[in-house]
Chain A
Amino acid sequence: MTDAALRTPLYGEHVEAGGRMVTFAGWRLPVRYGSILDEARAVRNSAGMFDVSHMGRVRLQGSEALDVLLRLGTNDLRKVAPGRAQYTLWCTPDGGAIDDLIDLWIADHDFIVVMNASRRDDDLAHLEDEARTKDATVVDETMDTVMIAVQGPEARGIVSSLGEVPELPRFGVGRATIAGVAAFVSRTGYTGEDGVELVCEAGAGPRLWEALREAGVVPCGLGARDALRMEMGYPLYGHELGLDISPLEAGVAFAVSLDDRDFIGSDALRKLAQDGPPRKLMGFVCEKPAVPQPGDEIGSGTVTSGGTSVVLGKPIGLGFVPSDTSPGPVSLRTRGKEIPCELRTLPLIERKRPKKKKTKT
């Protein structure tokens, strides 16, 4: 994997806007356009958008599509209904995480499964394995579509002002026309802010992106996305989730529904739930300047992600610690130094929904 990095249909927009392009999970994407901190603040205070077209989007259709997803997912899709999205995980029989995903239930027998770019090949094989014996058709639509996450307290208002957008509850899914572009819209995201994620045809992606930008939505890169999800304690596959990490350890037990159901990995997860997992995910806030790196020691645990919180104005991170660990002061050992930190439960910030206010220009 060297020069063969893929480009999203919005690549030209990113380069033109001065996006600093990096290769992430095999895709060329902007890590930032200007300041990561300014971009993260835009999402917390007004509205920002991310090109998340690199994420896998796989259409699953058929009379047994729901059964396929129930067999694969740790979460119980029967708790929701068409017109809703659900966060879920796929596990191995051992209970390790293959991926964390969002199922968009767009119509009775019609789903879009949104997956991590780094896991798309494995996820597709896993999905096809399960769909083979059932009435369910798998079509990978990743390359034919664009996905834009519009996030922030003003995000939904701006999106609605650009066309016909249904009023959606949290995790609702519908169809919209925005700036003349037909799109699926879901009230989902990865930032902790209100907002929507839009999926449209690849060719229309640039028009949608430009319309949002002209309406004041700030383009944001992977750096801001990472910082925002870290504040919320959301896991990132490869850091807080993996084949050797259980969802029950990674702070996403809410998406593991073990009552009266069997899915791939349910036996192992049931046993782990009974025994109690040996470690758990916590967050920490550094009291002195530092850049926590994965692999650093935090108390008697290990750092999985590090960054800077724009809300707290301090370095933060996530890490696995023994299950009996309580919040409180600990040391981060990084670059041969000891940095005083406070270990905290997640999320690291209160999810704030600031009132709409006029910004000075």
Chain B
Amino acid sequence: MTDFPRDVRYTPEHEWARLEGDLVRVGITHYAQDALGDVVYVELPELGARVTQEAPFGEIQSPKAVSDLFAPVTGEIVERNDEVVAAPELVNEDPYGEGWLVAIRADEPAELDGLLDARAYEELVESLDEEA
């Protein structure tokens, strides 16, 4: 598995965002799922909900921790991955694929340009690992 795919952008809170036409598909990174451990629960917003860049839009839980999910862009939830709600371990197994969480119709897709690219995100993760 590629830990830092180049076709997505990254938030400093470890979400990834992939531009697909006018949709932005969102998940958490390989690093995030590895750090969390077993994902046991994912709480996602309803279809049609508005989300705001850098604001929490949902929750992800491991046996010992609850983490907020942060929206990479502002917009409307147009898809949610109900399979991952039913089987949260998909996030661990395939964070960049089957383990995606929501798709957002971005008000300003250009917001993605302000996020980290693969290289910058990899550097962020390396700096976190050094601190640990």
A binding-site residues for B, Cβ under 8 Å? 20, 32, 35-37, 223, 227, 289-291, 306-308, 315, 335
Contacts and interface: CB of A to CB of B under 8 A. Distances in A.
Contacts of B61: 289-291
11 contacts: A35-B38, A36-B63, A289-B41, A289-B43, A289-B61, A290-B66, A291-B61, A291-B62, A308-B38, A315-B40, A335-B66
A98 B76 CA distance: 55
Contacts of B41: 289
Contacts of B40: 37, 289, 308, 315
Interface of B: 37-38, 40-41, 43, 61-66, 92
A36 B37 contact: yes
A307 B64 contact: yes
B25 to A, nearest CB: 24
A37 B66 contact: no
B66 A291 contact: yes
Nearest to A313: B40
Contact of A36 (B38, B43, B66): B38
A37 B64 contact: no
A92 to B, nearest CB: 31
Contacts of A290: 61, 66
Nearest to B43: A289
Given A289-B43, A289-B61, A291-B61, A35 B66 contact: no
Contacts of B43: 289
A97 to B, nearest CB: 24
A291 B38 contact: no
Contacts of B62: 36, 291
A223 B64 contact: yes
A335 B40 CA distance: 17
Given A35-B37, A308-B40, A227 B66 contact: no
A291 B65 CA distance: 6
A36 B40 CA distance: 11
A37 B88 CA distance: 13
A35 to B, nearest CB: 5
A20 B62 CA distance: 15
Contacts of A32: 37
A335 B61 CA distance: 12
Nearest to A334: B66
5 tightest CB-CB pairs across the interface, nearest first?
Answer: A289-B41, A308-B63, A291-B66, A37-B38, A35-B38
Contacts of A223: 37, 63-64
A270 B3 CA distance: 60
Nearest to B40: A308
A33 to B, nearest CB: 11
A3 to B, nearest CB: 12
B130 to A, nearest CB: 13
A37 B50 CA distance: 35
Contacts of B66: 290-291, 335
